[in-house]
Amino acid sequence: MKQHETNLQKRYYATTASDYDNQHLLNADEHFLALNYLEGLINFHGFTSILDVGAGTGRAALFLKKINSELRIVSIEPVEELREIGHAKGLKPMELLDGDAYNLDFKNSSFDLVCAFGVFHHLQNPVAVLEEMKRVSKHAIFISDTNNFGQGNLLSRTIKQVLNSLKVWKFAVFVKNKGKMYSISEGDGLAYSFSLFNVLKHLKYNYSIFMLSTVPSGRNIYRTASHLAIFALKKLKESEGEEKAKN
């Protein structure tokens, strides 16, 4: 089933690749704001190596390279047609590679930070991809994506939040989509009803988590923000903290 859905999504992007940038890259969108957040975090923490998972035509790499040409940035994208556009923009084949988010072809702790922009709501098993990102990350994870519980008008959001609190949201999605957990649209291809809040429990024990709203929202971003970003910084072990303090 996973392979069938993956193939549907790859086919969508392959056939719409020529118009990908016009449809998905806007300078004022939530991912552009997230990239500006990420720029500051990279500078603040002194990260020097980045892996971008599900890179599309290479937006994140091109943005970060323009800011800091010294950064080592590797991007993976499974759709050949999107990679070809990224290469035409100036990314070298060794910078924008074919790759599978579920099986990242890198050793443990290969990059200071691993990021993904607008990828997770296309994944059947986002937790599996998150675990791979954690594995190859030395210090941090950064994800910019949707919060389905903050989308829609007040009534729609309230209904979704209540169903989620009752732990029946997935069943409601299954019924709404007539026996499928995903929907298909002309503008986004195959997508799942996804919230970044649902993956937090897989980060909270070993990471310090920073939640960043990337759209106008109220105080409670779970209830009001349709999109957001997560920056998860790996906690230092006590021995590492002591060594860092000495230096």
Instruction: Give the range of the structural domain holding residue 160, as residue numbers without chain letter.
Output: 2-235
Q: Which residues of 179-199 are buried (b: 16+ CB within 10 A; e: fewer)?
A: eeebeeeeeebbbbbbbbbbb
Domain contains 42: yes
pLDDT at residue number 10: 84
Domain contains 245: no
Domain contains 246: no
Q: What is the dihedral of CA 193, 9, 85, 214, to 10 degrees?
A: 0
pLDDT at residue number 2: 65
β-pairing, 111-117 vs 49-53, is parallel
pLDDT at residue number 43: 95
Residue 120 sits in a domain whose CATH number is 3.40.50.150
Domain contains 247: no
Q: How far apart are CA 180 and CA 199, in angstroms?
A: 21
Map tokens 């002309």 to a residue.
186
Q: How far apart are CA 79 and CA 213, in angstroms?
A: 29
Domain contains 173: yes
pLDDT at residue number 45: 97
The residues, ordered by sequence, that sit 6+ positions from 5 with a Cβ below 8 Å of its Cβ are 124, 182, 190
Domain contains 12: yes
Q: What are the per-10-residue average pLDDT scores of the chain (247 residues)?
A: 76 86 83 96 97 96 92 96 96 96 96 97 95 98 97 95 95 92 88 94 93 94 96 76 49
pLDDT at residue number 237: 65
Question: 65-68: long-range contacts (C-beta < 8 A, 24 or more apart)?
Answer: 67/39, 68/42, 68/43
The residues, ordered by sequence, that sit 6+ positions from 159 with a Cβ below 8 Å of its Cβ are none
pLDDT at residue number 244: 54
* Number of domains comprising the chain: 1
Q: How far apart are CA 161 and CA 150, in angstroms?
A: 8
Domain contains 13: yes
Domain contains 241: no
